[in-house]
Structure 1
Amino acid sequence: MKIMILAGDARTLLYFREEMILAMLDKGHEVIAAAPQPIGEWAGKFSFQRKGFKCLSLPQIDKTGTNPFKDILGFFSIMRVLQREKPDKIFTYQAKTIIYGTLAAWFLGIEEVYILMGGLGSILRNEKKSMIKKILQLQYKLAFKKCKKVFFQNADDYNLMLQEGLVETERVQMVKGSGVNMDKFTYTPIQDFPVFLFVGRLIRDKGVLEYIAAAKLVKKRYPEAKFQIVGYFDTNPTALSPEEFHSCLDDGLIEYLGEAADVRPFLAKSSVFVLPSYHEGIPKSVLEAMAMGRPIITTDAPGCKDTVIDGVNGFLVPVKNSEKLAEKMIWMIENKDKAMKMGQASVRICQENFEVSKVNEVLLKTMNL
């Protein structure tokens, strides 16, 4: 059977989908991964090269743009690829490829389309009504009607879409994020303390500014505490420019370590993982930190709160509240032994709920693979 995976960004295929692709190949299926970036930039970066697997480019897809003419070109580029490859099933995620991929499949008579919803993003979560939000809701509603199943990663996102009348209950399957490979992200005892680590795209919605503000508050009381950031600049509407980001770090209190294809060395040297995100599907960066035995400080936002039992493997703080974030950072510094136990609890919670093989089993079973 031939399965096509349509992604809005090639990075996500490498970071989120490798294990799922391998699981499909192991079952004897042919898999095609397609993303907007030129193939030369990403196809060779997979950790495997297997018969039955190939990569394609969708050059006309503009991940975050709102130009309708570019979107029309993107729609037809997907349609051409689907016409040529004739997949039996399509697995798609991220807004543009969900909407245009599902509609292109419908036009071509491809009946089995499976949609994975990550975090809903700032537009859909914004209570204010806008023309862009209305158009996006209409597009999602149409895509959901034309697909076989929609995977939601957290109940908050599902309930919001249900309340808005955008999705039908019988089309929904819950799944616990993208999972984490615990054979790859193995428990590593905490050595240096305290070292706080943020890993994520350098966008406002990830809470990076709150992390920086909280770090500066903590530094006044505990100057020996270390604060690190690993991440890359993005084209998201809430993205920070390099100039904006670096201007926040000009006092040298926080260390920017750049972008990393493999975050394990940074997690191994950290003692507490922090993600003050405004919304997520289920944040894989948190799952990776949990698998390696780190206590977590994240927000009570959708998706984030699914990873932490407050007071057991970390803490939940309000969104956009650097003062509360700093309070929990200070607690970690002042309660090292308890923080260590929280890290051990992270591993147990991860094993029980988020191991990637369990997540992929749900995905493949639902897709009849």
Structure 2
Amino acid sequence: MTSDQTCVVLRGRLRALMEAGFDVIVVSSPGHWLTSVAETEGVSVVPIPMRRAVSPWRDAIAFFRLCRLIARLRPEITDFSTPKCGLLGTIAAWLMRVPRRVYTLRGLRLESSHGLERWVLWWAERISCWCSNVVLCNSLSLKDAAIVCGIAPAEKLVVLGRGSTSGVDTERFSPGESDVRKQFGIPVDTPVVGFVGRITGHKGIPELMEAFHEVQRRRPGCWLLLTGWFDRSEDALDERLRREIESHPRVLVTGSVDDPPPYYRAMDVFVLPTHREGFPNAALEAAACGLPVITTCATGARNAVIDGETGYLIPVRSSAAIAEAILRLISDEGLRKKLGRGARAWAVEHYERRNVLKRVVGFYRLLLTPEWKIEMEGMRVRATSANPADFGEVGDVG
């Protein structure tokens, strides 16, 4: 991956592969999360500095290092993701003749880009897909978007089950007690609207703040709990909005937390007003904790909610829709609990971590068989008419 932050979503997945007998090496820019994943997952790591933005000289150095690493390791499988590392890594793997090359599509940044940037990102994605044997999409709607954008032919695109990187640990993320409200001085009977993730523009934070002003006007006692950090990436918030958030008496920003379940349990409603996703892990975690989830109809995000059963799907960039959905839920405890129960049941049924990781391990094992291309084509055909149970460990591949 380009940034070490992406390592966070691989927890569980890496350990499962190690326990299945794979020798796993993780490559990303150096940082806290890369070091952490080495310690918690037991994998080897190789730090290679990479920047998200275009930087010809640094990109050339990173590319050379990737080529040298692949030549030394001679891996059976490479799996690169995120636009910059995906581009450099898949080209390097193709040049080094790695026999099985996977490009994992975790989202389409080009969907929220315009002009020259969008054109550059489109070509980067297209080349990454061309250099790969398989493009592993993180959700069904992401696969559809990839086809519509024309970055890869449909026969290269694969989704494991219903998507998700590693599923959710439904025992750890579950309803229960929390001391977070006491820690921050929030009364027990006060509505709390929650968000978990990077606090950036494309996560919909500007719209969420606008919506919260309206919610506060109609329900003055409400709190907004932002469990995350101000990311200084290309979609960082402007300084004015950041100061507004930091100075608001009813908005709490926690920074990065090591143990998120108690923060979910302190919330009444979870909101992810994102502009684009691959598949949002935070929405799964919130659902597993028994929270109704409000998210947008954006790519990836719309696969994380069953509208009206586990939460609500709303239009992208609509602060009015966010406010109305929040007010509906915090004003009706019965509805809130009903959707929360539905969310928990749905997460347990379809995204329990052990089942998702079985499909992941099965996918990589399949790649090691001599007939893997034939087998994958067969699964694509069967996925149009058969039950998911017919696909064994790999799950239904669409």
Output the TM-score relative to the length of structure 1: 0.89
Cα drift, residue 263 of structure 1: 1.3
Q: Which residue of 198, 211, 214 maps to 1:214? A: 211
Secondary structure of 1:368's aligned partner: helix
Equivalent residue letter for 1:43: T
Q: Distance in 2 between matches of 1:231 and 1:195?
A: 16
Are the structure 2 counterparts of residues 292 and 320 from structure 1 closer, same or farther at C-alpha, using a change threshold of 3 Å? same
- 1:107-154: per-residue Cα shift (whole Å, max 9, x none)? 111121112111212x3454x5x3333333223222212212111123
* TM-aligned CA deviation for residue 8 of structure 1: 1.5
Change (3 A) 1:193 1:252: closer
Residue 45 of structure 1 and its aligned partner are, at CA, apart by: 5.3
Q: Distance in 2 between matches of 1:262 and 1:189?
A: 14
Structure 2 residue aligned with 1:4: none
For these two proteins, the number of residue pairs brought into alignment is 354
Secondary structure of the structure 1 residue equivalent to 2:338: helix
**Counterpart check, 1:275 vs 2:272:** yes
**How far, CA to CA, are the matches of 2:330 and 2:149 in structure 1?**
43
Task: Read off the aligned partner of 2:128 and give its amino acid letter.
Answer: A
Alignment of 1:46-125 (within 5 A): 48=40, 50=42, 53-59=43-49, 61-62=50-51, 64-121=52-109, 123-125=110-112
The aligned counterpart of 1:356 is 353
* 1:162 corresponds to: 147
How far apart in 2 are the matches of 1:303 and 1:192?
A: 33
Gaps of 5+ in 1: 1-6
Alpha-carbon distance in 2 for matches of 1:367, 1:148:
13
Residues 160-169 or 307-316, more deviating: 160-169
Q: 1:293 to 1:98 in 2, by over 3 A?
A: same
TM superposition shift of 1:292: 0.8
Alpha-carbon distance, 1:362 to partner: 2.7
1:300-319 aligned at under 5 Å gives the runs: 300-319=297-316
- What percent identity do the matched residue pairs reach? 25
2:28 equivalent to 1:43: no
Corresponding residue of 1:333: 330
Name the amino acid aligned to 2:345: R
Write the deviation string for residues 326-363 of structure 1: whole angstroms up to 9, x where unpaired. Answer: 11111112111110111111111111222223322333
1:23 to 16, 19, 40: 16
User: Residue 145 of structure 1 aligns with which residue?
Assistant: 130
Q: 1:9 aligns with which of 3, 22, 26?
A: 3
Specify the SS of the correspondent of 2:117. Answer: helix
* Contact 1:114-1:367 at 8 Å conserved across structures: no
CA 1:47 to 1:289, structure 2 compared with 1: closer, same or farther past 3 Å?
farther
Q: Which moved more, 1:243-252 or 1:169-178?
A: 243-252
**Are the structure 2 counterparts of residues 282 and 94 from structure 1 closer, same or farther at C-alpha, using a change threshold of 3 Å?**
same
Matching residue within 156, 172, 190 for 2:157: 172
**1:101/1:17 Cα in 2 relative to 1: closer, same or farther (>3 Å)?**
same
User: Partners of 1:163 and 1:331 in 2: how far apart?
Assistant: 35
Partner of 2:242: 245
Residues of 1 paired with 2:131 and 2:143: CA distance? 17
Distance change (3 Å), C-alpha of 1:132 and 1:321: closer
Paired residue secondary structure (1:293): coil
**Paired residue secondary structure (1:91):** strand
Deviation (angstroms), 1:20: 1.0
Distance between the aligned counterparts of 2:284 and 2:290, measured in 1?
10
* Aligned 8 A contact 1:216 1:253 in 2: no
Tell whether the 8 Å contact from 2:71 to 2:96 is kept in structure 1 after alignment.
Answer: yes
Contact 1:219 1:253 in 2 (8 A): no
In the alignment, residue 57 of structure 1 is paired with which amino acid?
A: P
Q: Contact 1:233–1:242 (CA<8 Å) still a contact in 2?
A: no
Cα distance, 1:223 vs structure 2: 1.4
Per-residue displacement from partner, 1:64-92 (whole Å, max 9, x unpaired)? 21222222222112112222222221122
Q: Which amino acid aligns with 1:284?
A: N
The 2-side partners of 1:66 and 1:147 are apart by 22
**Contact (CA 8 Å) 2:4, 2:34: kept in 1 or not?**
yes
Distance 1:225 1:143 in 2: 46
- For 1:318, the aligned partner's letter is P
8 Å contact kept, 1:188–1:293: no
The partner residue of 1:287 within 284, 294, 297 is: 284
Superposition deviation, residue 41 in structure 1: 6.4
Contact 1:215-1:254 at 8 Å conserved across structures: no
Aligned equivalent of 2:388: none
Which stretch shows the higher mean deviation, 256-265 or 267-276?
A: 256-265
| Long gaps (5+) in structure 2 | 179-187, 367-398
User: Which residue identity is paired with 1:98?
Assistant: G
Residues 319 and 106 of structure 1: CA distance in aligned 2, closer, same or farther (over 3 Å):
same
- Residue in 1 that maps onto 2:174: 186
CA distance in 2, matches of 1:160, 1:85: 34
CA 287–36 in structure 1, closer or farther in 2 if over 3 Å, else same: same
